[in-house]
A and B are shown apart, each in its own frame.
Chain A
């Protein structure tokens, strides 16, 4: 079956010149699958970290200390109003150059943080800046009266947060959060610039080897739209599942 498909794509190449090596060439196929998985892996890790940054940031923004709030605001505005690519370069080239180097197991000095690490850090902080605002507005959207009702039932502060505020805030946040996650998946392609072997980087390698730019380009576009489509679908499902019965539809 697989052999037949490969055969057909080889035939396609010979007759039309449409050269999709990622289907019939096992080496290219392996690279592309790795790239695809790396994109997913990078997205997932950054997703988790950025959500954590968002929760902590939203919590810090409700701090009573003026300078804590200002610091968080400064972080948000800085990361929202500067290009993510320059942020990535700043982390990788500028801060990375100040980091100490350590000796790896082959005795070669290498930076303490790899390009992977920097991509994760940079993208997480970028997406996290948006998440802070998203979560904060979600928490603010929980009516004060509902919190009061919970207090009148004897819940303590933590319990009010855990059982009432966060479950409601999360629902309010979901549409904006899923938008941000979509954006995050798209932004992972920037990691290309610091040679993280994600989808775009691998595609670039493949088209350099095989000179099949149009094919790889088209494939890339569809692969990203596919990834984003899956994410949107999953978030929509989650949203529908968490929808408060009796409110909208």
Chain B
């Protein structure tokens, strides 16, 4: 069960005793004068699915970007598989190979078709064999139920289809960890389901996932651990059942009250 220390450090999840996959301790981040993350700490164990919820502007998306070293942090430490992320000598390539990320706006490359979107990074970045990458990419498209859409360009796909291509694109790098940044927020309600299904399958296969989401029902079903952030700090956390049914903090109650 979660144990909270004075500094707010949290150890959570099924295998809290093993070396955590991701470990954040006292992370701080400011944009100009506004501090968006004010000392967040938590661990994620291998195979865990962690959902982060919270009001907009509470620093959730920034947190994900920090884990992927897309944004530098101002204080504290983030370790991914034991490797300090915000180290000047960090091998970014190695980190990003380990950590895949999916964005709210899909951010596919509009000048490449679906298959090429998947194949580009493994070929150009990892210098893998083209034929092998192609086979893997085709399998991934099949996995996200988009067989037959290999030649379609992002502009010709629906939002849900684009988002599944984006998931497959991240998976093509064979990451150990997947970060999902409000991946259903820009989608039509009908297409949300197909994307969530894909994520659920991934989680069931044992992929370590961190999701920032507004889909409470989905979070409750899929998460091993829930976090609520507000104004740059973790307000409450716990296993979903407890978190949703018996929230302790007033802010959690009011947030859940607004959403549900």
* A–B in direct contact per CB < 8 Å: yes
Complex: how many Å from CA A247 to CA B101?
25
Tell me, yes or no, whether B164 is within 8 Å of chain A by CB: no
Inter-chain contact count A-B, CB under 8 Å? 76
Tell me, yes or no, whether B131 is within 8 Å of chain A by CB: no
Among the 9-residue stretches B40-48, B103-111, B223-231, B244-252, the one with 4 or more Cβ atoms under 8 Å from chain A is B103-111
Chain B, 85-136, CB within 8 A of any chain A CB:
92-93, 96-97, 99-101, 103, 105, 107-111, 120-121, 124-126
- Most chain B CB neighbours (cut-off 10 Å) among A146, A151, A154, A163: A154
Chain B, 162-200, CB within 8 A of any chain A CB:
166, 169-170, 173
Please name all residues of chain A whose beta carbon is closer than 8 Å to the beta carbon of B108 when the two chains form the complex.
Answer: 149
Complex: how many Å from CA A235 to CA B245?
63
Chain A, 144-174, CB within 8 A of any chain B CB:
145-146, 148-156, 159, 163-164, 167-168, 171
Q: Are A153 and B111 within 8 A (Cβ)? A: no
Contact of A152 among B68, B126, B153 (CB under 8 A): B68
Closest to A155 in B: B125
Q: How far is the CB of A151 from chain B (nearest CB, A)?
A: 6
Q: Are A148 and B121 within 8 A (Cβ)? A: no
Please name all residues of chain A whose beta carbon is closer than 8 Å to the beta carbon of B65 when the two chains form the complex.
Answer: 148
- Most chain B CB neighbours (cut-off 10 Å) among A145, A149, A150, A246: A149
Complex: how many Å from CA A11 to CA B103?
75
Q: How far is the CB of A136 from chain B (nearest CB, A)?
A: 20
- Most chain A CB neighbours (cut-off 10 Å) among B65, B97, B110, B124: B110
Q: Are B121 and A154 within 8 A (Cβ)? A: yes
Q: Are A153 and B68 within 8 A (Cβ)? A: no
Chain B, 132-162, CB within 8 A of any chain A CB:
152-157
Q: A246-B156, A247-B110, A247-B155 are in contact. Are A154 and B173 (CB under 8 A)?
A: yes
Q: Are A152 and B101 within 8 A (Cβ)? A: yes
Closest to B96 in A: A154
Tell me, yes or no, whether B70 is within 8 Å of chain A by CB: yes
Complex: how many Å from CA A156 to CA B157?
28
Q: Are A153 and B103 within 8 A (Cβ)? A: no
Q: Are B124 and A159 within 8 A (Cβ)? A: yes
Q: Are B173 and A153 within 8 A (Cβ)? A: yes
What is the total number of residues of chain B having a CB less than 8 Å from a CB of chain A?
32
Please name all residues of chain B whose beta carbon is closer than 8 Å to the beta carbon of A107 when the two chains form the complex.
Answer: none
What is the total number of residues of chain A having a CB less than 8 Å from a CB of chain B?
23
Q: Are B111 and A171 within 8 A (Cβ)? A: yes
Complex: how many Å from CA A161 to CA B211?
29
Q: A154-B97, A156-B93 are in contact. Are A146 and B154 (CB under 8 A)?
A: no
Tell me, yes or no, whether A244 is within 8 Å of chain B by CB: yes
Complex: how many Å from CA A171 to CA B109?
13
Please name all residues of chain B whose beta carbon is closer than 8 Å to the beta carbon of A150 when the two chains form the complex.
Answer: 109
Q: Are B153 and A153 within 8 A (Cβ)? A: no
Tell me, yes or no, whether A245 is within 8 Å of chain B by CB: yes
Q: Are B111 and A167 within 8 A (Cβ)? A: yes
Q: Are A153 and B170 within 8 A (Cβ)? A: yes
Complex: how many Å from CA A247 to CA B109?
13
Please name all residues of chain A whose beta carbon is closer than 8 Å to the beta carbon of B93 when the two chains form the complex.
Answer: 154, 156
Q: How far is the CB of A242 from chain B (nearest CB, A)?
A: 8
Q: A152-B101, A153-B169 are in contact. Are A146 and B124 (CB under 8 A)?
A: no
Complex: how many Å from CA A206 to CA B168?
67
Contact of A148 among B103, B109, B166 (CB under 8 A): B103
Q: Are A152 and B155 within 8 A (Cβ)? A: no
Q: Are B70 and A154 within 8 A (Cβ)? A: no
Please name all residues of chain B whose beta carbon is closer than 8 Å to the beta carbon of A154 when the two chains form the complex.
Answer: 92-93, 96-97, 121, 125-126, 173
Q: How far is the CB of B107 from chain A (nearest CB, A)?
A: 3
8 A-B residue contacts at CB 8 Å? A149-B166, A153-B120, A153-B169, A154-B96, A154-B125, A155-B125, A168-B109, A244-B155
